Amino acid sequence: MTDEIPENEGAGRRKLPGAGLAQGLATTFKTMVTKSHTRQYPDVAPELPPRTRGVIALIEENCTSCMLCARECPDWCIYIDSHKETIPAPTAGGRERSRNVLDRFAIDFSLCMYCGICIEVCPFDALEWSPEFEYAEYDIREMLHEKPRLGQWVESVPPPPALDDAAEDPKEISLAQKAAAKKQAALDAAAQQEGTADGDA
Ligand code: SF4
Ligand code: SF4
């Protein structure tokens, strides 16, 4: 069975000739008189959100060469070389210890997709986002940033946002506060004892 289309259906929706043209011209005119949002970059620097993912900065002192970031990077664009160094025992008869020394840390930004996984997984906060983005190169090989260059980006890393007022203090702070309160209580008790001894004398 076929549906019959009424002869006059749609007649009420017919537009006047030239109505589409008039509507198009009205849109063009409206756009012409609306304030433009074009930013005059590079003459005017863009106002970027503080946590913009521009480039990755490396805080070398925090890096333990654990390789976690390189293993988790979906693009395999983090290159790390390190060697082990033996630290002599601090006391006679003690055990020697070993630690990793970072020889090379590089990120190839021509491959990086700015997912931030490496920053999230780093257990030592050695990687941070910097909002810097002006590092385009004519030669793609220059997009491989080695350790010194990654370290230079640290200067532009914004400070972390303040904690929420209702947030609990970090564990380290509450432990330090407890230790300080305990020490103060011991000092007060000692001072009180001393005062009592002086009074008795
Ligand atoms: S941001 Fe993502 S792709 Fe880029 S280096 Fe980190 S993990 Fe790899
Ligand atoms: S995860 Fe962090 S500490 Fe481990 S190698 Fe990467 S940057 Fe260094």
Question: For 6-44, what is each residue's pLDDT tens digit?
Answer: 555 555 567 788 899 999 999 999 999 998 878 889 899
* For the CA of 113, the nearest atom of ligand 1: 3
Residue with CA nearest ligand 2 atom 8: 63
Kindly state whether residue 130 falls inside one of the protein's structural domains: yes
Pairing of strands 78-87, 144-145: unpaired
- Average predicted confidence (pLDDT) for the chain: 89
Kindly state whether residue 35 falls inside one of the protein's structural domains: no
User: From the CB of 150, is ligand 1 less than 6 Å away?
Assistant: no
Q: What are phi and psi of 29, to 5 degrees?
A: -65, -40
CA distance 149 to 154: 9
Cβ neighbour number for residue 150 with a 10 Å cutoff: 22
Tokens at 188, concatenated: 């007060």
Compute, in angstroms, the gap from residue 170 CA to the centroid of ligand 1. 28
Kindly state whether residue 142 falls inside one of the protein's structural domains: yes
Q: Say if residues 49 and 80 touch (Cβ distance below 8 Å).
A: no
Residues of the binding site for [4Fe-4S] cluster = 63, 66, 69, 73, 112, 115, 118, 122
Tokens at 156, concatenated: 């532009």
Kindly state whether residue 131 falls inside one of the protein's structural domains: yes
User: From the CB of 46, is ligand 1 less than 6 Å away?
Assistant: no
The predicted pLDDT at position 2 comes to 45
Compute, in angstroms, the gap from residue 88 CA to the centroid of ligand 2. 25
Kindly state whether residue 149 falls inside one of the protein's structural domains: yes
Kindly state whether residue 194 falls inside one of the protein's structural domains: no
CATH value at residue 100: 3.30.70.3270
Residue with CA nearest ligand 1 atom 8: 73
> Domain total for the chain?
1
Among 50, 37, 14, smallest CA distance to 131 is for 50
Kindly state whether residue 21 falls inside one of the protein's structural domains: no
Residues of the chain with pLDDT under 70: 1-13, 198-201
Q: Which residues contact 162 (CB under 8 A, 6 or more apart)?
A: none
The predicted pLDDT at position 13 comes to 67
Q: Say if residues 153 and 132 touch (Cβ distance below 8 Å).
A: yes
The predicted pLDDT at position 147 comes to 97
User: From the CB of 69, is ligand 2 less than 6 Å away?
Assistant: yes
Kindly state whether residue 133 falls inside one of the protein's structural domains: yes
User: From the CB of 116, is ligand 1 less than 6 Å away?
Assistant: yes
Compute, in angstroms, the gap from residue 145 CA to the centroid of ligand 1. 13
CA distance 118 to 120: 6
Q: Say if residues 56 and 144 touch (Cβ distance below 8 Å).
A: no
Range of the domain at 85: 55-156
CA distance 187 to 170: 26
User: From the CB of 57, is ligand 1 less than 6 Å away?
Assistant: no
Q: Say if residues 102 and 125 touch (Cβ distance below 8 Å).
A: no
Closest ligand to residue 111's CA: 1
Q: Say if residues 116 and 51 touch (Cβ distance below 8 Å).
A: no
